[in-house]
Amino acid sequence: MRKLRPAPLCRSWLFLEGANETVLQHAAASGADVLIHELEDFTPPSLRPKARALAAELYAAWRDQGAVVAVRVNPLDQDGMDDLAAVMRGRPDIVALPKVAEPHHVVRLDEAVTRFERDYGIAEGSTSLLPNIEFARGLVQTGAIAVTSRRTIGCLMASEDLAADLGAERGSDGLELAYARQRFIVECRAAGVVAVDCPYTWSDATGVARDTVWARRLGYTAKSLVDPAHAAIVNGVLTPSEDELRQAGRIVAAFEAARAQGLGRVELDGSLLEVPTYSNAKRLIARGEALRAIDREVRA
């Protein structure tokens, strides 16, 4: 059986036009960890029947190429139920729901997914959920939204809809969403789910690299994207480099040597190493090893 990349090791989450067959067929070549069949904003209502009809064959192809398969349906009081009735036949790994502003939105999605799992002979509980936070009301309830369903493996923060709801002016530096991104990761971390950062919606490679570096500094390990060309950049930034792993190894060695001598901390390269620094270095090493192992298994 194909090895499924665990959600905490999914770095790049790529949204794809739901009815664009050319884009969908070449999506896995981007290298994105998660491919999201987007049936909401990227798919006009007139094209949704076509998009739904592509699901089963498309998802099987994506799985064969090592990607985690996700779909974003429409809000359930709009076209979402029709979306689910069709795409659940393709057994997506993750179902994302847009415009989640209240915990009960997730409750209803969980109930619908459970029903379709039973109807289609899918192992109950095997489909994960990814609420999308796109309004101020949702942002301040992210923690409650994240723990509403055991199926929820992460939450994803939007950029354009959230900025519009705030009345903020968009800029490629992302300054207008700085507080929202900081709060969002705190809420997700406290709830124990993956925080998927908002996409960088400009085309320049330098900009997406800069934006992802800033997200990583805040603590993000996952980022959504809307351009397949950005996947390699995001994966590169969110994967510990050899130099970073080497430095983390030096920190671990220096701290453990100090502890062996009965010292509480030690200086290395002008920095005082204490328990949090040591713990972070160990986590970085563990993440780097896990990413390399899963990358090998997915490619095999």
Please indicate if the annotation marks 267 as binding a ligand. Answer: no
Q: What string of H, E and C letters represents the secondary structure of the chain?
A: CCCCCCHHHCCEEEEEECCCHHHHHCHHHHCCCEEEEECCCCCCHHHHHHHHHHHHHHHHHHHHCCCEEEEECCCHHHHHHHHHHHHHHHCCCEEEECCCCCHHHHHHHHHHHHHHHHHHCCCCCCCEEEEEECCHHHHCCHHHHHCCCCCECEEEECCHHHHHHHCCCCCCCCHHHHHHHHHHHHHHHHHCCEEEECCCCCCCHHHHHHHHHHHHHHCCCEEEECCHHHHHHHHHHCCCCHHHHHHHHHHHHHHHHHHHCCCCCEEECCEEECHHHHHHHHHHHHHHHHHHHHHHHHHC
Angle between helices 205-218 and 178-191 (to 10 degrees): 50
Please indicate if the annotation marks 161 as binding a ligand. Answer: yes
Residue carrying the six token digits 């509480």: 264
Q: What's the Cα-to-Cα distance from 45 to each of 14, 39, 50, rounded to whole Å?
A: 21, 9, 10
- Structure tokens belonging to residue 184: 């969002």
Q: Name the nearest CA neighbour of 37 among 2, 77, 89, 78.
A: 89
Please indicate if the annotation marks 287 as binding a ligand. Answer: no
Q: Which residues are annotated as part of the binding site?
A: 72, 134, 161
Residues in binding site for Mg(2+): 134, 161
Annotated binding residues for substrate, written as ranges, equal 72, 134
